[in-house]
């Protein structure tokens, strides 16, 4: 049986991918993790992508297949929710066992986002780049609390 090997991504595709990742404000680690998840661990760099993978990834990142972007936003929201339990002004010391607790904790995070982030809007109205920035802000707050 003859083994077929896909062609590597073109330099134009790699350049376009880097531009999209910059526009979406991915840092190097986030970009490598995203590519690794996209290729199911086969590679974590744009240089290791095949032409077909690069095409599909560009489609996904440019919104033609927004399911990947929505799933990424959900993942970041879950991380934000989890971080909130490490921050005293949010959900530290509160349970999230019942649906009512969960809704109350979400409301606290939403209030925080409307009043204490630079975006001044609820979490559910933020773009993926904005969600990542809020996550970084909460990570810094959690680190600061752990130092005391």
**Residues 21/31, Cβ–Cβ less than 8 Å:** yes
Residues whose CB is less than 8 angstroms from the CB of residue 148 and which lie 6 or more positions away in sequence, other chains included:
none
Query: Helices in the chain by DSSP H: which ranges?
Result: 11-23, 28-38, 51-61, 66-84, 99-116, 128-147
As a whole number of angstroms, the longest Cα–Cα distance in the chain is 63
Mean model confidence pLDDT for the chain? 88
The pLDDT tens digits of the residues spanning 39-72 come to 999 999 999 999 989 988 888 787 754 676 788 8
Q: Give the pLDDT band (50/70/90) at residue 93.
A: confident
Give the DSSP per-residue string, 52-73.
HHHHHHHHHHTTTTHHHHHHHH
Instruction: Report the 10 Å Cβ neighbour count for 69.
Output: 16
Q: How confident is the model at residue 147 (pLDDT cuts 50, 70, 90)?
A: confident
């Amino acid at each position: 049986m003859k083994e077929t090997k896909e062609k590597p991504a073109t330099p134009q595709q790699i350049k376009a991918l880097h531009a999209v990742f910059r526009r979406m404000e991915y840092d190097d680690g986030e970009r490598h993790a995203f590519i690794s998840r996209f290729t199911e661990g086969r590679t974590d760099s744009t240089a290791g992508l095949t032409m077909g993978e690069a095409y599909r990834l560009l489609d996904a990142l440019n919104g033609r297949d927004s399911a990947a972007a929505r799933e990424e936003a959900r993942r970041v929201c879950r991380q934000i929710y989890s971080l909130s339990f490490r921050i005293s002004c949010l959900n530290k010391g509160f349970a999230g066992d019942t649906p009512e607790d969960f809704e109350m904790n979400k409301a606290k995070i939403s209030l925080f986002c409307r009043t204490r982030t630079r975006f001044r809007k609820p979490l559910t109205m933020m773009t993926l780049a904005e969600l990542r920035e809020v996550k970084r802000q909460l990570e810094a707050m959690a680190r600061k609390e752990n130092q005391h």
